[in-house]
Every structure is written in structure tokens, then in C-alpha cells.
Amino acid sequence: MTPFSNGRVPPNLTKALREAKSFAIVGHVKPDADTLGSSLALSGLLRRVKSGRRIVLANASPIPAQLQFLPRWDTVVAPAQKSDLKDLDCAIYLECANPERAGGIAAFEEFRLTLNIDHHITGKGFAHVNWINPHASSNAEQVYMLYKEFGFVPTKEEATWLYAGIVSDTGRFQYSLTSPATHRVAAELLETGIPHTRIMEHLFTIKTVAHLRLLATALSSMRFHLGGRVTALSLSRGDFAKYDFHATQTEDIVNYGLAPKEVEAAFFMKEEPFRGKNVVSVSLRSRGRVDVSVLAQSFGGGGHKNAAGCEIADMTMDKIEKTLVERMGNLLKKRK
């Protein structure tokens, strides 16, 4: 297995993309705009590199309604099963710390070749070829670099996928990994004539009534800890059932926990309907030097310094909250 953790595209990655006979492209469960956009854009690139090869895009979770404005979103097999990826030569994992992050649909040992493209600092080199670039703003920025490496200019459709991934994972260019290079990439994508206003509206402005009601429920649950420096939000299985709303569209709610200027870290606990009955998904956010990726890793998760997540099994939300507050208190002490 070849580790590769910098901004350059690994030569053995481009070689594999040229020579593999067929591909499974899989992203992490609960796909966001970066995972979906990167998957679609990578499939477009592979078809331009060599036509006629079989390419299956798959995700273990349904595609959220919020992302169904993206062109060809319905070409992704979702929710997928292992059988959908049978007899494929090469598996490409996007934003997955390990193969299991793809929801168990792409077993590592079932492919002749595995490629891992990730931009999280907690990413692991589990594949035959690994390109982990923690300085990239998003997977979409990495896929754009692949276009450049092969000498291709993204079409308007491909640029739409890439721009959606970049603006989503940078939080509209406000997160710390937004670099001058990120803005240059965005500018080049805008030059293709993409409907950037429409993309922004779908990702950040348009919400369903059910989403707004769930948001209201989560905000009313907000609790302050450690003298107001940490906030906790939560949604129970009953909350989701009440509003008949798919949990994959609640990822942004944790950001409201950072709204009060005194808050340094926030977490959002969800008993998501499509996970196991005893599994709670946790989203973590922070500002400044508070590294919540360390906390996520302690529970088997990962992410970035200021944005991370994990899943915790066989523990009540009350116990999880107590544990997270205690560990966040230790992180805040270390920051000093």
C-alpha cells in the first residue's frame, strides 16, 4: 500500500485511472454535496480518459432530496448493495477513512485494485494507492486537480458538480481550509457558465418545511456547558419519526451551536432512523485552535480540526453528552 499525503497527484494514481478495466466509485454514507459531486465528476473524467469502460457509482445511503438538483444524480445506485459492485476491477473510495465508511458495500478484498482519495487530516492509507491531501478544501478540489493532471478542462456539467462540492465543504468559502488555490479553482469553474446562484440556493437557502421544523426542534434542545463555551444539540428517533424527514439533510444544524460568540465548540447528536437502533451519530464543530478531530478519532471517527464526526453505539444520548462535555473540557484546557 502506497501512502501519499501531499498536494501532488501520485503518478501511480493516474496510471491506475488510465489502465483499470472497470470502476466502482463509492463515497461515505450519508452523502453530502462534496461526496456526490466528486463522484459524478470523477466518473466524467474516467469516461474522457478512456471510453467504454464500466463505471458504477454507488452509495449505501439514499441521495438526499436537497442534492437532487445536481445533473445525473439519479445515475448513482443508492441505496446500493454489495451485489451492485460485483465483478468490477477497481474500487475508488472518496472521503472514506476506511472501507467500512462506505457502508459495507465495497469490501476491500473483492477488488484487484483499490484507490483512496481523501482530504481529511484523519484519513488513513488503507488502499493500494492513497492520495490523502489534508490541505485541500474538499474532495472536489482534488478531483479538479486530476482534470488538470490529465489535461482536461471541465465541461459546464462537470464544473457544476465540482463547484457544488467545493462551496459545500468550504461552507461558502468560510472554513479554514479555503486557500487562494481554492478561489482560483472556483473562478475557473465559474468561467464555464455554471448556474452558481442556483447551486447556492439549493445547498444553503431552499429548505423543506419538515427541515425547518426539525431545525426548530434541535435549536430548542440547545444546552450550554462549561460556562457557555460548549453547546449540545440533539434530535431523537422520535423527532425524525414525527416529521417523517430523512436525517441526511440535517448536517448543517450543528453549525448553529457555534452561533453565540462565546462558544468554542459544539456537538450535535442524532438517533438517525436509517442507522442501528443503538447508534448515535455525532457531528462536532469548533473554532480557532480547538481540534475536534482528536475527539472524533477517540470514538473511531475522523474529519478536520474544526469539523469532524463519529458514530457511538450502545450508549444513551445522556451518557454521550456527559462524556463529550468532559472530553471537550480537557481539549479546552489543552488549548490554553
280 phi, psi to nearest 5 deg: -115, 125
pLDDT tens-place values along the chain, 336 residues long: 444 455 689 999 999 999 999 999 999 988 999 999 999 999 999 999 999 999 999 999 999 888 999 999 999 999 999 999 999 999 999 999 888 889 999 998 999 999 999 998 888 889 999 999 999 999 999 999 999 999 999 999 999 999 999 999 998 998 888 999 999 999 999 999 999 999 999 999 988 888 899 999 999 999 999 999 999 999 999 998 888 665 456 888 999 999 999 999 999 999 987 666 789 999 999 998 899 999 999 998 888 899 999 999 999 999 999 999 999 999 888 765
In 188-325, DSSP assigns E strands to 223-225, 230-235, 265-270, 279-286, 302-303, 307-313
Helix (H) or strand (E) holding 146: helix 139-150
Fold (topology level) of 11-203: inorganic pyrophosphatase (n-terminal core) (3.90.1640)
pTM: predicted TM-score of the whole model, two decimal places: 0.89
Q: Which one-letter DSSP state was computed for residue 151?
A: T
Question: H or E element: which one contains 55?
Answer: strand 54-58
Distance CA 91, CA 89 (A): 7
For the chain, give every residue range classified as CATH 3.10.310.30: 209-335
H helices present in 221-282, as ranges: 237-243
CATH 3.10.310.30 given to domain 209-335: yes
Give the span between the Cα atoms of 332 and 336, in whole angstroms.
7
- Four-residue CA torsion sign, 78, 60, 248, 259: negative
Comparing CA positions, the residue from 83, 91, 21, 86 lying closest to residue 54 is 21
Residue in this structure with the C-alpha cell 452558481, named with its chain if needed: 196
